[in-house]
């Protein structure tokens, strides 16, 4: 049954916005097969070592990258059950909660992470996203986390965007005006496109959201590094474009 379910999800992900998907079908197929194989291997290892926090962490990541969000939540929660000290720093659990639509739990997870790291505005954006889904943008904006220290670009500009103090085109203009080394600018643009896309999605502009999420997924920095957040961008793009193409 699980194999059949994976096969169905696999085909849906490969077909997601097929004509304009930023990744070739072969690359998407390879990614999904890699994470499925990783999940299968970790299943076996966890049978042998069922209290290994690192194994639950790795399987939770693989599951989230496959779009198996409930499974990711289960593994991330198991990490905390085994080692409660991990709770305060477990932002990945907040992301998994977001994708299973447990927005209040997601917002709480990002709120407690703020006590662990009060510089990371990316965390504040995810809390805003969660609160917007739970209670609407007005309440979310009123409850924005406060930051006093500086942060890596483009997050100060993106946070101003989510606070309603900047427009998307102003964020992009600030990136250009900064005169970053081209190799670094590619990295900055990845983060900008990811959260510009989500900003547009929350505002109800699906076309602009897909445009920016497509750019984030196609980003050379993201594809070369395969970071956690690039995987999130890829999965988010697949979800949104699949909704767009549904009858």
pLDDT of 243: 85
Rounded to the nearest angstrom, the gap between the alpha carbon of residue 76 and the centroid of all alpha carbons in its chain is 15
- Note the pLDDT tens digit of each residue in 206-235: 999 999 999 999 999 999 999 999 999 999
Is residue 39 within 8 Å of 62, Cβ to Cβ?
A: yes
pLDDT, the chain, mean: 94
pLDDT of 145: 97
Is residue 110 within 8 Å of 127, Cβ to Cβ?
A: yes
Token pair 């965390």: residue: 123
Q: How many CA atoms lie within 13 A of 10 on its CB side?
A: 16
Q: How far apart (Å, rounded) are the C-alpha atoms in residues 34 and 39?
A: 9
Q: How far apart (Å, rounded) are the C-alpha atoms in residues 193 and 8?
A: 29
Q: How far apart (Å, rounded) are the C-alpha atoms in residues 12 and 14?
A: 5
Token pair 């920016």: residue: 212
pLDDT of 20: 81
Structural tokens at position 136: 């609407």
What are phi and psi for residue 146, nearest 5 degrees?
-95, 140
Q: How many CA atoms lie within 13 A of 69 on its CB side?
A: 15
Report yes or no on whether pTM surpasses 0.85. Answer: yes
Distances (CA, A) of 89 to 71, 111, 117, 146, 201: 20, 10, 8, 18, 27
Q: Is 29 exposed, middle or buried (0-12, 13-18, 19+ CB in 10 A)?
A: middle
Token pair 């916005």: residue: 17
Is residue 124 within 8 Å of 159, Cβ to Cβ?
A: yes
- Note the pLDDT tens digit of each residue in 100-116: 999 999 999 999 999 99
- Note the pLDDT tens digit of each residue in 136-178: 999 999 999 999 999 999 999 999 999 999 999 999 999 999 9
Structural tokens at position 41: 């291997």
Residue 8 has pLDDT above 50, yes or no: no
What are phi and psi for residue 24, nearest 5 degrees?
-60, 150
Q: How far apart (Å, rounded) are the C-alpha atoms in residues 95 and 69?
A: 9
Q: How far apart (Å, rounded) are the C-alpha atoms in residues 214 and 26?
A: 17
Structural tokens at position 150: 């500086």
Is residue 134 within 8 Å of 98, Cβ to Cβ?
A: no
Percent of the chain with pLDDT over 70: 91
Residue 7 has pLDDT above 50, yes or no: no
Can you give the residue ranges of every domain in the chain? 152-247
């Amino acid at each position: 049954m699980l194999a059949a379910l994976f096969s169905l999800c696999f085909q849906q992900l490969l077909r997601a916005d097929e004509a304009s998907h930023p990744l070739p079908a072969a690359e998407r197929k390879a990614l999904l097969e890699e994470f499925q194989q990783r999940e299968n291997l970790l299943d076996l290892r966890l049978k042998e070592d069922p209290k290994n926090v690192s194994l639950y962490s790795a399987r939770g990541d693989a599951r989230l990258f496959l779009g198996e969000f409930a499974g990711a939540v289960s593994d991330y929660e198991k990490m905390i059950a085994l080692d409660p000290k991990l709770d305060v720093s477990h932002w990945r659990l907040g992301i998994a909660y977001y994708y299973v639509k447990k927005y209040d739990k997601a917002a709480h997870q990002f709120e407690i992470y703020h006590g662990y790291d009060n510089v990371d505005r990316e965390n504040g954006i995810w809390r805003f996203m969660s609160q917007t889904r739970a209670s609407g943008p007005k309440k979310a904006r009123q409850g924005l986390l406060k930051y006093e220290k500086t942060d890596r670009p483009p997050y100060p500009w993106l946070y101003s965007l989510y606070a309603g103090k900047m427009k998307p085109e102003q964020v992009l203009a600030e990136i250009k005006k900064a005169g970053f080394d081209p190799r670094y600018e590619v990295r900055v643009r990845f983060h900008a496109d990811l959260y510009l896309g989500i900003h547009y999605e929350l505002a109800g502009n699906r076309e602009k959201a897909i445009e920016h999420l497509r750019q984030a997924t196609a980003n050379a920095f993201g594809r070369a590094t395969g970071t956690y957040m690039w995987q999130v961008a890829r999965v988010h793009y697949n979800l949104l474009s699949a909704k767009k193409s549904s009858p």
